[in-house]
Amino acid sequence: MPREYKLILKHADEPGYSNDIECYERHGGYEALRKALAMTPSKGPDKNDITPQAQVRKTVLDSGLRGRGGAGFSCGLKWSFVRHPNPKPVYLICNADESEPGTFKDRQIIYKDPHQLLEGMIIACWANHVNLAYIYIRGEFTEGAKILNQALSQAHKQGYLGKNILGSGHDLEIYIHRGAGAYICGEETGLIESLEGKR
């Protein structure tokens, strides 16, 4: 058994792999999203229906998936803080600010496999009833912003974003926000303040 299972960027270094949507789909891209959207309610131990979204949230929690920040915080635990259903709007923010000195983890994903990032965000938004999401990217990442804008446009054309994504009844828009390079924006509350236009 291999010591490491490469999931992120698993195809990025293959000859001929590119960051366009057709290449991503040929390598199984957006199949996890299609699978999630096709799920049906299941019965829990108490015989009550468990929604497909709740099933995905439990799968993520049970998987042990962790964030790529320094703390390695549990993704499923973070999702559990969202109230379901929530009377207030809920937003998802992808922190691609990469403010830690000497790191290139976010940049590698954005440059080499932006649709993997988008697919993960779309599934997270659907599972948590989010209709509006942001990718917060360093202002200096001009090329990265260009790549992400192209990926967002491609995802819209294929029906993965916008109104009624893939006929699921779920609406989702994702926007790119370029930061001003402040180190504090690596911390979530500072990043949110920046997104809101505060100093």
Q: pLDDT by residue (tens digit) across 156-194?
A: 999 999 999 999 999 999 999 988 765 554 566 666 776
What is the rounded distance in angstroms from the CA atom of residue 141 to the CA atom of residue 96?
10
Task: Report the pLDDT averaged over residues 112-116.
Answer: 95
Assess whether pLDDT exceeds 60 at residue 1. no
What is the rounded distance in angstroms from the CA atom of residue 161 to the CA atom of residue 170?
9
Domain boundaries, the chain: 21-195
Mean pLDDT is highest, among 19-23, 105-109, 195-199, for: 19-23
What is the rounded distance in angstroms from the CA atom of residue 1 to the CA atom of residue 99?
35
What topology is assigned to 21-195 in CATH? Answer: Rossmann fold (3.40.50)
Q: For the chain, give the percent of residues with pLDDT over 70.
A: 84
Angle at 120 between CA 72 and CA 161, to 5 degrees: 150
What is the rounded distance in angstroms from the CA atom of residue 164 to the CA atom of residue 194?
30
Assess whether pLDDT exceeds 70 at residue 2. no
Which among 9, 35, 6 has a CA at the least distance from the CA of 24? 9
The pTM is what?
0.89
- Per DSSP (E only), the strands in the chain are 42-43, 49-50, 91-96, 132-137, 173-178
Residue-wise pLDDT tens digits, 44-102: 888 788 999 999 999 999 998 887 666 778 989 999 998 887 888 899 999 888 766 66
